[in-house]
Amino acid sequence: MEAERFGQYLIKSGIVDEEDILNALNLQMQRNTPMGLLAIEHKMLSVKQVFNVLNAQHQTQKMFGELAVELGYLSMEKVQALTEIQKTKRPYLGIILMEMGKINQETLENMLDKYHQKHGESANII
């Protein structure tokens, strides 16, 4: 059974509705740092290599990391490391909901406390 995510918990608690969560997740995705930019910042790829991967993406539905591996630019381990870096830079769902005016800081802190009591400290709040 998959663990309940924080957004699902907020919906079940009546704090926000599904549309609020979908809008917040969309904003979260829009603010996600592209893997190619992270690869350049961490000196794993050159600008030319990133453009080669991006150009190849126009011809396929494959993800950036998958193509970078296929082209021989990155190992799977480096793609996984970039994915982890990407996750740490992603804004938290609760912060986005606050920015949207759907919850205030006090409600967020209260719900996070309750969520962690129910699911443990390592639960997925992104």
State the virtual CA torsion across 55, 58, 64, 69 in degrees, nearest 10.
-70
Residue 10, pLDDT score: 96
pLDDT category, 126, cuts 50, 70, 90? Answer: low
Instruction: Lowest mean pLDDT of 8-17, 86-95, 112-121, name the range.
Output: 112-121
Residue 60 has pLDDT above 70, yes or no: yes
> Is 59 exposed, middle or buried, given 0-12, 13-18 or 19+ CB atoms closer than 10 A?
exposed
pTM of the model: 0.71
Residue 123, pLDDT score: 59
Average pLDDT (87-106) is: 94
Give me the chain's average pLDDT, please.
93
Residue 65 has pLDDT above 90, yes or no: yes
Residue 119, pLDDT score: 83
Beta carbons of 16 and 97 less than 8 angstroms apart? yes
Residue 122, pLDDT score: 61
